[in-house]
Structure 1
Amino acid sequence: MGREAQGGEAGRLVALDRYDILDTPREEGFDRITRLTRRIFDVPMSTITLIDGHRQWFKARSGVEACETARGPALCNVAMREPRILVVPDARADARFCENPFVTGPPRIRFYAGVPLRTPDGHSIGTLCAMDTRPRAFCDGEAETLADLSQIVMGELELRRVAMTDSLTGVLSRRAFRDEGARALALALRYGHPLACIMVDLDHFKAVNDGYGHPAGDRVLSAMASACRRELRTSDAFGRVGGEEFAVLLPHTDLASAMMVAEKLRAAIAQLRVATPAGPLRVSASFGVAALDATVTELDGLLRNADAALYAAKAGGRDRCVAHGPSREPAHGPASGRRPAIRTRVLKAGWLSLEGGRTRVDCTVRSLSDEGAGLKVMDAGVIPETFELVIEADHFSRPCHVVLRADGHLDVAFR
């Protein structure tokens, strides 16, 4: 625990970021552990929970519908700080949790047991937990078994760091894509040849899973990946970087040519008809395209530019391709005349100070420069246009205004 105490929350988030796992697709190795946890302890719910600055996100879940919830009231947020295990035999009889919204409302937790997921250097990044809607006891032997399972989770996390292929779609895993991208960028910078990146996000994919079921959603992802591979060169790197988000690196390709490739991919996806029990399902995707330029010195800068264009495509109505350019740079207004700032990829806890400090909304800072930031929040739609961004660990406080919002993401410029 010594190193955890020394690093504090900032050090914990740095340790979590090293695994590059937040918002990655479901993986059988982790799903198997939550299923096994349910069977061993005869409970209806189990999750592998990772906690960033503002939420608990479930890398694996069994018997739980939500894929993430706010961090504040989460029992896992308490369990994460325990030296070994948190056992709550009856949450309604426990003064710490009797009024907790996850106890009084869905999923109506009565029994909870959670073990911290601790990295080799002592940081707790989340939990493995078992939950029931009925109170129950939990003996020392069961606690040790859950602790052993948490060690298996950490072993899977370490193995995942070297995994190369996404098991569902057969494309590169996020880690492998980043490795390949770093090599491609280094070559492009060294020899001065063009390089472009395309970010692809399936439109309204949650509605597919909710309306047709997760097996249909998996078929959509697999069909989409196959359709894109048929349109790409063998020299292109194609990876799955999120649940329904993919990325393509195009060596020796300028922005205009990359836009033509993106349009080919968009058309190929629009032509798909995926079989479901309810009949053929049609899908579409949004595309953000960016090319290497003088402002990009690392892979994260290129990905961020493509991601900003992707958010613009989604905000503009989806099923379209948008190229990144100075007018779409989130840290500047279109008439600023200044060179775009390069943001650094980070994982920091922060909050938004609203209404003159009367309201606080937790956030996770995912990118940062002297002129703007990329933020994750639970609901971007309820955030006003202006607010104060606070990063307590950095003694940082800046007034901001929103320049782009999509789903749970905000791009802001500092005022």
Structure 2
Amino acid sequence: MPTARIFGKSSLEAQRETARLAALERLDILDSPKDEGFERIVRLIKEIFTVDIGIVSLIDAHRQWYKACSGFAIEEMPRQDTFCRRVIECEDAIIIQDTTKDSYFSAHPAVTGPDHVRFYAGMPLKTRDGFTVGTVCAIDRRPRSFSSRDVVILQELAGACMDRIELLESAATDSLTGAMTRRAFKKEAEQFISLARRHQHDLSCIALDIDHFKNVNDSYGHAVGDQVLKAVVAACKATLRAGDLLGRLGGEEFAIILPHVDRQDAIAVAEKVRERVAALEIPSEHGIIKVTASFGITSLSIVGKEIETLLAQADAAMYQAKHAGRNRCMSWNTVQADHPTGARRRVLKAGAIIFNNRRSTMDCTIRTLGSDSAGLAVSNAIGIPPEFVLAIKGEGFETNCKVIAHDRQHLEVAFA
């Protein structure tokens, strides 16, 4: 197998980035639901410093993801386009009082374009073991000064963010919907799987994602989006048994564990939930809101015997359902027919997608990894060919891949 390039990083830098991503993965906070504690912090940033924009962000291998943001209407952006990548690189605060006079950022599109960014203060979010996993930022559209006292205040706000992250690690229930949190869901799912394997009974997993949920938030606002989320969870709970598990894994992403249920019966359960969601009529000040969801189903098997593998399989089937038109259920068994794959583990690794006879590359984050397959996150899957080379940066690993399922920001690939 050919050796991957390190893509401009020294071996020491690549090792540090690998360890940083591992620290971020242990927090298990990427793509988690919005949280009022962080929303309050970004509002405080704007009030305390009298700036236009406050941000709390986490940065993985390919993007900056906003855990909370006030003043920007976006939820993430490619890592290479961000100011905050410099904070990650130097692992220290960066203050730019006038971006037009900064040699590094004066030509940045956020400076020269309509965003008109003129001031930036970024403070690292550091774990207890010293890894910079994200940033707390104050941004303004006017040049301005930032005193040593301001730096201390921003540092304290960064500390409050890390305290909040640690507090959320122990939460079992999502405060908005009443579903289990991602960490609690996975922990209890592992116990259910262990019992199923020990006593040799069936168990199935369903992944579901609300279709076009971003359009709901953009068109009607986040308050209506919250109503939709609560209504969908209520519809799920009304269909499921008391002993089933329901977890909120991301903003509009949920998962279900069905003990003592085989694949065929799980498909029937998913169809009932799908129909119940599609029948919802959610009242709002804008009138009745209707939504649908896409579902992926898989079951315990010789290969799928850990929660990460089951979730990866269910996700792949769900992405296939979205690709096929949404508002439908798809079984992993159907996806697997053409591309059988083995077990996966959850990781957070820096990857590169290489195509066009090695003339084109795209950064990605490897989210799950097995000996014959992987789950990748990208800023935008448009333009990525059905076959490419995947490199794990800094590990000397490359392999040919085929896309087996995808949506706009996720790829499920089998190694060729």
2:4 alignment counterpart: none
Change in Cα spacing, 1:6 to 1:378, as seen in structure 2 (3 Å) is closer
Structure 1 residue 406 displacement after superposition:
0.8
What amino acid maps onto 1:369 in structure 2? G
What amino acid maps onto 1:295 in structure 2? V
395-404 vs 193-202, greater mean Cα deviation = 395-404
150-159 vs 395-404, greater mean Cα deviation = 395-404
Distance in 1, matches of 2:388 and 2:145, equals 46
Distance in 2, matches of 1:226 and 1:24, equals 20
2:7 alignment counterpart: none
Structure 1 residue 370 displacement after superposition:
2.5
Aligned-residue CA RMSD (Å) = 1.5
The answer on 1:357 being equivalent to 2:358 is yes
The CA deviation string for residues 270-323 of structure 1, in whole angstroms up to 9 with x for no partner, is 111112222111111111111101112311011111111111111111111111
Distance in 2, matches of 1:354 and 1:241, equals 31
Contact 2:15 2:394 in 1 (8 A): no
The CA deviation string for residues 298-353 of structure 1, in whole angstroms up to 9 with x for no partner, is 1101111111111111111111111111x413xxx72x7xx632122211011112
1:242 alignment counterpart: 250
Contact 1:80 1:117 in 2 (8 A): no
Distance in 2, matches of 1:402 and 1:261, equals 28
Contact 1:403 1:412 in 2 (8 A): yes
What amino acid maps onto 1:322 in structure 2? M
> Number of residue pairs matched?
405
The answer on 1:285 being equivalent to 2:286 is no
* Partner SS for 1:81: helix
Distance in 1, matches of 2:105 and 2:213, equals 34
Structure 1 residue 114 displacement after superposition:
0.7
2:386 alignment counterpart: 385
Structure 1 residue 226 displacement after superposition:
0.9
Distance in 2, matches of 1:287 and 1:304, equals 13
What amino acid maps onto 1:411 in structure 2? E
The CA deviation string for residues 233-268 of structure 1, in whole angstroms up to 9 with x for no partner, is 111111110110111111111111111111111111
The answer on 1:37 being equivalent to 2:45 is yes
The CA deviation string for residues 84-136 of structure 1, in whole angstroms up to 9 with x for no partner, is 31100011110100111222224321100011101011110010010001110
Distance in 1, matches of 2:141 and 2:383, equals 32
2:266 alignment counterpart: 258
Contact 2:312 2:375 in 1 (8 A): no
2:335 maps to which of 328, 331, 336 = 328
1:372 alignment counterpart: 373
382-391 vs 307-316, greater mean Cα deviation = 382-391
Structure 1 residue 403 displacement after superposition:
2.3
Contact 1:82 1:116 in 2 (8 A): no
Distance in 2, matches of 1:285 and 1:71, equals 30
**Which 4+ residue blocks in structure 1 deviate beyond 6 angstroms?**
none
State the TM-score, normalized to the length of structure 2. 0.94
Contact 2:202 2:299 in 1 (8 A): yes
1:90 maps to which of 81, 84, 98 = 98
1:51 alignment counterpart: 59
Structure 1 residue 14 displacement after superposition:
0.4
1:227 maps to which of 218, 232, 235 = 235
1:191 alignment counterpart: 199
The CA deviation string for residues 2-39 of structure 1, in whole angstroms up to 9 with x for no partner, is xx979500000000000111111101111111111111
Change in Cα spacing, 1:214 to 1:106, as seen in structure 2 (3 Å) is farther
The answer on 1:314 being equivalent to 2:315 is no
Structure 1 residue 374 displacement after superposition:
1.4
The answer on 1:153 being equivalent to 2:136 is no
Distance in 2, matches of 1:7 and 1:156, equals 28
* Partner SS for 1:138: coil
2:412 alignment counterpart: 411
* Partner SS for 2:80: coil
Structure 1 residue 53 displacement after superposition:
0.7
1:80 alignment counterpart: 88
* Partner SS for 1:356: coil
* Partner SS for 1:394: coil
